[in-house]
Structure formats: structure tokens, C-alpha cells
Structure 1
Amino acid sequence: MDSERTVKTTAEQLEALTKENERLKQELSALRQEKEKANPISFKERYAVKILNSLPDMLTVFDHNEIGIEVVSNEETNHVGVTNEDFVGMHMRNMVPPEAYQNIHSNMQHAVATGTVSAAHHELDFNGKRHYYENRIFPLDEKYVLIMCRDISERVATQRQLEVFKSVLDKVSDSILAVSKDGTLVYANKQFIEEYGVTKELGTQKVYDLPVSMTTKEAWEKRLQEIRDNDGSFAYRAAYVRMGETKKRVHQVSSFLTHENEQELIWFFTQDITDVIKKRDELRELNQLLDGILNNIPVYLFVKDPADEFKYLYWNKAFAEHSGIPASKAIGHTDYEIFQSEEAEKFRKDDLELLRTHQRIDIQETYLTANGEARIVQTLKALVPMEDREPLLIGISWDTTNLQNIEQELIKARIKAEQSDRLKSAFLANMSHEIRTPLNAIVGFSQLLPTADTPEEQKLYSDIINQNSDILLQLINDILDLSKIEAGTLEYVKRPMNLGEVCRTIYAVHKERIKGGVDFIFNNGEEDLQMEGDPNRIMQVITNFITNATKFTHTGEIRFGFEREGENVRVYVKDTGIGIEKEKVGHIFERFVKLNSFVQGTGLGLSICRMIIEKIGGEIGVTSELGKGSTFYFIIPCTEVD
């Protein structure tokens, strides 16, 4: 009973205490509110400590004697190496190095004397690192000053980096410019300022006021839009006349769009490529000149790469024209892909020998062109050293095919001339005999003619005299014709003629002269052929053919005539005489050639016939078989006349 009564009493007491506590709290709150109403606390006073602690500056109060009074800011901003407790009562000179003290001291004296804010800077080694500080000194009253000290090390480092960066930009050869979106100049390096003659403050000038490609506001806005449309990057080429110059300079410009502090900046990096363009043009002109020279000199030029299976790197125009192989089919290919295997193997062997010895090669080579023609070339091959790679093989070839042919022709001409000289000598020796023989006969039988006893004997002597007179006359005519031909005065007069009549006249003249046992036949009989020509020269050639036939035909027949062959006429003399040896047929129309030295004649007749026929645009020839006879013929144009 007593314990229950005790618990109940205790509970009642606790409840009474709780109520009393609540009442006291209410009274205390009421008293506090009354106090605040009587003495209100400002917002600054309520949050002053928090505000001070949030500042990055070290706030200190000194008296005018430079004695530390109080550190207002928190401990984290303290960077003088003196604790907040030790700060109070310590002189400033004992807190910082002498150089820093002198700087702060001077500015503090100025602030106290003038009553205005003063600024000072000093440096300290703090935690093993050099720090830079900015001090702003505020006079509080006649006794105290407030010093706000801020660590500006990062700002100084940034500023120094910026100065280094600007110094570097001032030394580059490119012109650099930063422009705001309205065209105002924001930054320009030294090169840009000098290049474009910028004299005013950057912020007072617009980009379109400068002698650049964008000379109007509209042009600038168009360029700005191009940069934006191209994802903030744009490259182009511009040309302008530089200040003080008359020549145009060419620039390569790259533009970039950046954003700083919500400001749009457009950067221009301009490179003067005037000299580059000039050198490029000069190089192009030089290459064109060299290409023109290399493609017009009358020699083959080629370059091979020994490091790449000796593939051709260059193949000039002369090589392409003479070989029939265009450069497009040669460059990038080996000799095995261009020439026949035997030729390619020979070329490769020479190339390898050159690569082994490094001694230039001078050789004569033969190759087949694309159309199968054999060409002879004199080739010089050498190695050309290169800086960063294996040497190249260069070849120069002179096409000597024509020279070789001319040389062979000259040799033949020399041999022929020597032979002609020998024949002339033989001709002169023989001519004296040929002339003397008929003259002796004429003189001798002329003396015998008066002594003839019978008319038959007189006729015999007379015939011999006439025959030798004809021989002598023919000799003289041949010599005269040869002289006219060599002098270029041999006449050939075209006029209307009847070839049938000419042949019948020839037939009548020779019919009686041809000895018995040989039939003389004119195939065309009474046939006529009216045409243009020189009857005397045609008669001369036919007569020569018949005269030769009579010399070498002793039995059988001599047959002559003419026949049409299209627009030409073919005249022939065919005999059954001794014929001509095969190896001598090709020389029958040459001068001073006599196939039989025992037969009378100069050896000029057939060569004169050849010159006559060739002069009138005709063709002369012979077919012969030894022991069976020969056929001499000529073919001349036949222009018929009424």
C-alpha cells in the first residue's frame, strides 16, 4: 500500500514539474520577444560572423602604430605564419619579411595620411611555395585600420601564362585576330597589327574597317553566318593590297568560333602565302618548261625505280612516239610487261649490272616497237642519288636507226661510186677502142673502095662503111645523151603521136638489118594507138632494146609490140637469145655495164633508156632466163588523144 502511494505521488510531482517547465519556457520566449522589440538586431549583425568567415580574404585590424589588434576572419585564411592568438599585440614587421613589410608600411602610411583606401602587394613563401598577395588598406578611424589580404597566386600565374602566350603569339609569323560577333576587335597579335596597319585601340575598331576581304558590315555578317553554318570552323583564301605596297598579297585564313563568359568570339588565323603562291607558280612554270624540254628533245628519256622492280617512273614523248607505246602503258610497269621477253631480259641484265657497279653504262640496243619495227638506239644509263631513298635509274637513248640506215646507204654509195669510177675508167679505155674500131673500118674500106674490081666488091665495102658509120654515130649519140642527162638538159617533148606508126617505122628500119636465121616480128601489125608522148625518145628506147637483142640472138626470133594495161601502155622486145645470168639481171640498167666485153657498145644505152623512162614517170624492166632469152619492157602512162 505504501509503495503504490509513493509511485502515485511521484507521477503527480513529475506532471506538475512538466507544466511548470512549459510555463517558464513561454515566459522566457515572451521576455525574449519583448527584449528584441526593445533592442532589435539587424540582419548584418545576425549574420556578420558567417559573412566574414565565408570571405577568402584574411581580415586583420592594426592600430596606427602597426600593432596587431585582432584577426577578424577565420583561421583558414591566415597566411602570415602567425596564429590568431599570437597576432594580437605583435608588430607587423615581425609578421612578414622586410621587403613585404616595407611595401605594406608605405601604403598604410599613405592610407592613414590621406584617409583613403590604399593597395599594396607582397610575396611570401608559404608551405614551400611562393605566394602572391594583394593588400587593400581601409582607414577605420583615427586609431585603427582594416587590412584585407587576398591570395592572388592563381591570378598571377594565369596572368603570367597569358603574357607568355601573348609573347608567343607576337612572335609567330601568322596574323591572329579575335573579333566579337558585332565585328569589334578584341585581340590582335603584333603581326596582325603591323600587317594591317592597326593604329587605334582595338575596342574602337570594327573588322570591316580594316583592309581585309570583309570590307562591309554585310560581308562580315555573311562570313559570320558561314562560320556558324560550318560548325564554328571555316577556312578560305583572301587577297588584298597591303598598306604601302602595290602588289596583291594572298592569305590563307582559318576561322574558329569560341564562347567566353557567354560572349561569342571569332578567331582568325591568317597566314601570308604570297611567297608560297609565287614559288608554287614559279615551280609550276619551271615544271612546264622542263616538261616542254624533255618532251621535245629528240631523244628517249626514262626513269626507273630499282627499289620497285625497276618499274618506270617517267617516259617522255619522244620515247612514246618512236616506240608506239604511250607513257600511260609504261609508267608503273616493268620491261617484262612492255617488251618481248628477250629484250626485257637484256634490259634487266644491264640495269642489274649498273646497280652492282654504280658505273654508268653506254651501250647500243635494239628493240621492237609496238608495230613490230626494229629500232636501234644508243643508250646511256646512270644512277641518280636521292636523299631519303634508294637511287633512281635514268636512261637517255638516241635513236640511231636512221643514222645507221644512212650509214649503210653511204657505204653502198661509196662502193657504188668506187665501182662507177672503175667502170668509168674501163669505159674510157673501152671507148677509145670502140671509137677506133669503126673509124679504122671506115678509113680502111674507104681507101679500098676505089680499088674494088667488081660492083659486088664495091657494094660490100660500101655496106661495111655504112655499118660502121651507124655504129660510130650511135656511140656519139650515147655519149651526148649521157652528157645531157647528167647536165639535166635532156629534152622530152610531149605531143600527139601514133605508137603503132612509130613501131612500124622501127620495124621497117630493122627488118633488113637483122641477119638471116632470126625472125623479126611486130605483133601489132596495122594496129594504131593515138597518145601523148615524145616519139623520138620512145623510138630511141625501143631501138636500143632491138639493137641489144640482135647482138645476142643468133637463132630463133625477136618479137616486139605493145599492149594496154589499164591507164598505161606496155612496150616490149622479146628475144630467144643467150639470156642473162640471174645475178647480173639487177645490174643491167646501170651505167657502163657490159655483160659481154667482146660485143661492141658503150654500156650506156640501157642506163640512158632507164633515165628516159623514169623521167616521164614510167617503169623499165627485164625478165630473162639464161640460154632461153630475154624480154625487155617499159610501161608508161597512156593519155589517149583523138
Structure 2
Amino acid sequence: MDELELTKRRLNRERAARLQAEAILEDKARQLYHANEALQRLNEHLEDEIQLKLTELDQSELRYRQLIDSVDDVIYKISPGGVFTYASPATEKLLGYAPESIVGRHFTHIAEPGCWQELAQFYQQMMRTRTQSTYHEFAAIGRDNRRVWIGQTVRLIEEGAEVVELVGVARDITARREAELALQTTEIRFSTLLSNLHAGVLVEDEQGRVILANQQYCDIFGLKVSPDQLRGQSHYESLLSAHSILADADAFRARLTDLLQQRGLTEGEEIYLRDGRILERDYAPILLAGKHMGHLWTYRDVTEKFHARELIRRSEEKYRGIMNNMDLGLIEVDINDIIVRVYDRFCAMVGYTESELIGVNINQALLPPEFQAVVDQQYRNRQNGVASSYELQLVCKDGSRVWVLVSGVPIYNELGEQVGSMGIHYDLTERKQLEHELALARQVAEDARLAEKQFLANMSHEIRTPLNAIIGMSHLLLDTQPSPQQHEYIDALKTSAGFLHSLISDLLDMTKIEAGRIDVSPRPFDLVALLQSTQKVFEMKLTGRPITIDVLLDTRIRGTVVGDDLMLNQILLNLVGNAEKFTEEGNIQITARVRKEDERDYLIDFTVSDTGIGIPAEKLDSVFQKFRQVNPQGHKHRGTGLGLAITKELVELQGGTISVRSQPGFGSQFTFTLSFAKTNELIQPTIAVSPATAPINLPLCRLLIAEDNGMNQKYIISLLTKWMVPYKLATDGVEVIDMARQQPYDLILMDIQMPIMDGYEATSVIRSTPGPNQFTPIVALSASAMNDHRERATRAGMDGFLAKPFEPAQLLAVLQRYAPGGTPNLSATTLAVQAADPSTTAQQGTLDYRQLDALYGTDDAYASEMFATFLSDIVPEISRLPELCQAKQLTELAQLAHKLRPTLPMVGLSSFERKLELIEQSVHDEEPVWQIEEHCNSVVLELDRMIPLVREELQKRLPIST
């Protein structure tokens, strides 16, 4: 029983425990069910909350984007490598670029090339120092090539320890930069003006604080501070330290206070210092729109001026008695020109007594009306404290006039006020009479000079006119196949005519030199070529004679020099011609040796030596004198004795010297020294005109010839007939005008002196009358070589001047210059000029390493960045040029060419900059599209050949990996 009971109890306990457990499980299940329902409700609530938050986030992002779009500032992002990853819409408004057009491009796409390096350093510095935010300004180039100044605030965006991007806010600060530049320019000008004033200047505000002063102000008052240190200080207090130098400090302070209270413009106040100096003070209140804004003080040291004035006053008192006894007329007048004192000598000069002059107006009593303006001007000078001397006439009591030299000075009272003036009169009547006589003599001499000049002009014309025919006919005779004896006669005729021509030219040259009518006209020329040309000329002249001519040049003489090549050529021709004249056989030598050289100039010794007959020692001093010949009777050659005299004058006109050494029987040596400036300017080659060939490019040239001399007519007509040039002939001025009205001509050859109407008048009529030849070139034919005749021909409307006698080559040169199509071998000339001018051709096949060195030096990192940017960004842009041209988008083409031009020298392609400029100019000049396309294709083709060099240079400058 007991065990059964125990078992039953145990089973009851287990059943109770199971029931309890089931109840607990049921309760847990119920709790779990309720928890699950609560969790489900919570999830639904969370989903609603999340959806609400997402909606709010979308709205916030929308508002953020709307905010960015509405802001005028540009917001952008760039990678650490400088490539744009984002740009706000304001980019298009600021620079003209759509945001998507610059995303993926380097910042150098919009930055001005001159700012690339600085901008790259700015970004690199931010990333290197981890500066979170900083400000920088740079210049950008808009899509329309405008220059826009940008102010940007940049922040770093980091992830961990790495910078992932940079965010910037940029705005247009162009107006501020331009205003700052204008303000800076104004401040510099004002500061420079203030610093260079010979007066102390101080400006204070309405509170009495110094806002501006210059160094002269500090120096005058002995202030131990700089003008900048005075700023902000009290003006009154700043002068306390200077009171010790004032003669009366109390009076100075009182007057200073009085001026500040009255605020009235004050000028010329004198201030005395203890050291004897005297200052002059000006005061002016500063008003703006009626409002008091401050004060302007100006101080000048007038010690010397004051002492000079006092010296004059004291000297007047000291020498008043002395002047009474001198041959000078002294008179004093008050401020109204009333005579208050007169001295005896003046009374005797004009014939009045002292009582007759005292109290009368000096101008009304003694001054002729025509001199009133002179006196009025002198009065104004005296009012300004200026003493002066002048000449005028005075009317004497008997009606005669006397010339006087007047020295007038102002008279001051003890207060420094002008109360009158004193005049010292010196009788010039005799001197004026002498001047009149000298003027008459000068007029006689001038008339004689003009007569001489007219005589020379007439002589020149009268001799040159038949001489032209003689020389011309001798040339024509040589073309008629003369016999040997006739040839000898013609040579004698040419020699005599040449001597006569040389005689006239020498006389006229010396006349012009003595009259000062020859000026030095420096210009660039090839010195070596000039010397070699002189050698060639005389080699031809010496053909058949046992004489050689050599040129020895200093190797330091190279390139182009600046000087008067025509004058140098005449000097050499005179000296070599003189040597050739007196040398039967042997050698003539031209030597050019550099005596001194610096960066800018040559000083060159020229020597012409010969192996001729030489000059006796006693005659050396006279070889350069006019009309002097060393051996006028003992030598077969004739001359005027002017050649060496003219040579000496021409050398000295250029600031040079000339000397001679000689020994009879061993030759002579003439040495002259001239200075020439160095220059890099190139000389364009000229095409020589050969007189032996007919001008094949002038068969259709129509000439009108005005010539009244029969022999000259035959000479010119023979040449034109020989050259197959059509012509018409007029024998006077009226006839040439009539013929010029009937039909057009290509060139008019106008003789100056003709019957009925001369060439000047005929030219003026043609030029002033509408007709077929109003603008036809007119060349003067004149036997006068005077400069006045050349100038008068130009004033009359002539285009050129051909002096008689002239040779066939000279006439041919005139025809080739003025006639249509007359310039021979133009294309060859152009090519020669281009070949000599490095600016017209580009160096092909290489980069401009001089430009690269100047840009980058040893900064390979910066250089490689620029080269990489060029290859990635610029090269594709250049490739677009032909496409834009084919699409006829010429405006965009010109803008792109203009934009790309500055980038090419950055990679050593300097020659391409000119090519792009040519494209831009071609568009501007509205050239045919096909021609512009040729330019574009040429640029792209040549660039393709240069790209490997650019890539090679990039590889050289890339940093070596470690």
C-alpha cells in the first residue's frame, strides 16, 4: 500500500507538473502570438516611416538641386588629377560652356594658359597640406574668348586618409579685379606725383587725424618718422616735436588754430624758422557736396627766393647813388605806372625835366602804341616777382624816338607787398643803327648767295642739257659698229664728257656741303656687300690695265650695320677713284678693320692704299683743301681739286676723321674712321637692272615725253625705239597738257625747263584737272641737280626725278619702276626676301627647345602635365578644324583657332601659332572656303608629323618609376 500510494502520489505530482508545463507553454504561445502581432504592426509602422523619410529625402535633394541651379556661383568638382567630374548649370552663364561639355576635361580647358602653373600648384598645395578650405583667384577664358577673372573657394573631400575629390564654388570677380587695377594705377600715379612734389604736403580728416603726407613734409619740419607712421596721428600733436625749430612757436599755433576755425583758402603765408629758413604755407579746406571733409596743407622752402628778393631790394638801395652817375637812365613807377622818381640820365635821354615827368603815366607820356603789348607782358611778369630785360622805343619830347634796353624789377615794401617797379634804361640807338646796317649787309650777302645759287642752278642746267645729249649719243654711236678710229674718237668724247660731268657734280656737292644742305641719313645696310660692290665696280673699270684691286675685311665685321651707306659709298668711290687715277700699275687695296667694338657699335678704320706715284711730304697738308692739286701740271690726269675735299667733308659730317700717309714713288694710304651701330634687321635683296637687255616686260608701256631739246629728244627716242617702247612726244608744257587730256599713258617723262609753260606748271595742271592722266606717274627730267628743284618737283605732284645726263640703264630703271608690270622677276624677288626672312618660314621637323626651356626650365613634372594635356585635349580640338571648315562653321573655326593658338608654344610648336593665326585671318578676310580648308588640312597634316616628337618629349620628362 505504501508503495502504491507513493507511486500514485508521484504520478499525481508528474501530472500536475505536466499540466503546469502545458499551461506555461500555452501562456508562452499566447504571449508569442501577441508579440508576433505587435511585431507585425511595428514592421508596418516602420515601413510607413521609411517611406516617409525617403519621400522627404527626395524632396530635400530636389530642393538642393533647385538651390544649386538658382545660384549664380559655379559649383564644380574636380578629381585630384585636375579633371572636372561635375559642373553646375551656372557654368554656361559664367563662361559660355555647357556643364556636360567640360565634365571629363582638364581644368586647363578653361583656365588662361598663363595661370595653368599657378592653378596646378594651388590644387597640389591643398592636397599636400590637407588644407580643408581655401580661396584662390585666376583668369579663365570663356567660350567666346572673353577673359573672366574667377574667385574660387575650394574644399577637400576625403575618404579615410585619401583625397577623393575637390569641391569648389566660383564666382565672377572680373569687375572687382578691373576696379582694383584701376584703383592701384590711380594710387601709384598719385603716390608718384606726391613723392616728386618739391613741397611738403599733408592731408588731415575732419577730426584732425593725418591721412596722407609725403617725405618732403617730414624733412621740412625735421620729423623723425616716416609719412606712413604719421597716418592716424593728430596733425596738431605731430607738429609739437617741430615747435623747437620755429622762430615763434606761439604765433604758429595761434595761426594754425585760426585757419582751422575760419576754413578759408590761404596762400603764400610766410613762416620763419630758427635756423634762418623761411617757409611758405598754403591752406585749403576739403569740401565734398558742401560737407567739410578735412584740410590740405602745403609747405615750401622759399628761403633762397626770399633772400634773392631781399638782395635785389638791398642792392637797389646800395647802388641807387652809383647808378645816378652811370650812363643808365633810372626811373621808378608805382603800381599804376605813375612816375614817382626819375634820375638825371633818364631825363637827358628823353629830353624832359624831372618836374615834367613826376606824376605822369609813363606809358601815356613816353611809350609808342605798338610797344604796349610788350609792356603789359612785362608788367605781368613783375606782378609774379620776375625781373626781366627787354627792348623798346621811347618817344622823346621833340618827337624823335630812342631805342632802350629796359631791365625791370618789382619794388616791395616792408610787408613784401609790391608797390611799384624800377626800370633801368640803356640807350641802344647807336647799336640799333649798326644792326640795321648789318641787316642791310646781310641782305646783300643773302642776295649774292641766292644769285650764286641761281647761277649754279642755271650753269648746271645749261651744261647738263647738252651734256646729256653728248653722253647719250656716244652710247648710241657705240651701238652702230664704228671703225677702230671712230671707236677711239667716241671714247675720247665719252672721257671728256665724263670729266665735265664730274666737274659739275663736284662743284654742286661742295656748294651743298658748304650750305649745310647735306644730312646724314642712317639706315641698315650690308657693309661687306658694299665693299665688295666697290671692288667689282673698279675691277670692271680696270679691265685691261695692270692693276689689281683687293678687299681685306676684319672677320669681326658681320651682319647688318646702321649708317649712311650712300655717303660711305661716295667716300670709297672718291678715294679708290683717286688711287686708280694716280696708279699706273700695281695694286689698290681696300681694308676695313675694327678698331673698337661693344655690344651696340663698331668703330671701323677704312684704309684705301695704292702703289701709285705718291705725294711729296710738303704737299700732304694741302691734299684735302679745295681746288688744290698735288701735281696739277706734272701728271696727265685732270681734276677739279675737289674730290678729296668733298671726301673729308663727308667723313666729318658723320663724326669721323680722315688722314693720309704717303711716300713719293711708293704710293699713298688714306685712312678714315667711322662709327656704325649694330642691328639684326635684314636687308631685302634688290634685283639689278642690266642696261644691255631690252625690257621684255614693257612692250605695251605707253609713254608721253615732254622734251624741248632736239638732241635729247633724239637720244631718248633712239633708246625707246631700240627697246620697242611706244611713245608720244611733246615739245612744250601746253602741248603736253593737251596730249595728256586726249588719251591715257602709263608714264609721263616731264622736262622741267620748256618754252611757253615749264614742267612744274604743266604737272600742276595735269594733277588738278580731272582726266585720263590725273594720277599717272610723272618723272621729272632735269639738268639741275639742286635739291630745291627736286623738292619743287615733288610739291608740284611729280613722282620721281631723273637728272641729266643719264645713261640708258638709269632710264630703263625708271621705266621698270613706274610702268605697269615693270618690276622684273617679282616672284624671284619675293622668294629671295622670304628666304632671307626667318619670320616667313618655320623651322620644320623639330620642337622649339628654346621656348620650352624658357617655359619650364627643369620643372619636368609641370612640363609633362602640359604635354599630356595637349595630347589628350588640344590635339583632338585641332583635328576638328577641317570639319568645321567643311561644315562652313567659319565663325566657330576662327574662334577655335584663336583659342588654340596660345597652347602650341607650350609644347614647342611655336611655328604652328602663325599657321592658326593665318586661318583666323583668312576667315576675317573672307577668303574662299576651299582656300581656308587647305590651310586647315595643312595644319592637321603637319601636326600629325610632329605628334611623335611631342610624345617623345613627354616620355623624356615623365618621372622615373622606382
Which of the five TM-score ranges fits, normalised by the shorter chain?
0.3 to 0.5
More strand by share: 1
Bigger proportion of residues as helix = 2
Bigger Rg over Cα? 1
TM-score by length of 1: 0.39
Alignment TM-score, normalising by the size of structure 2: 0.27
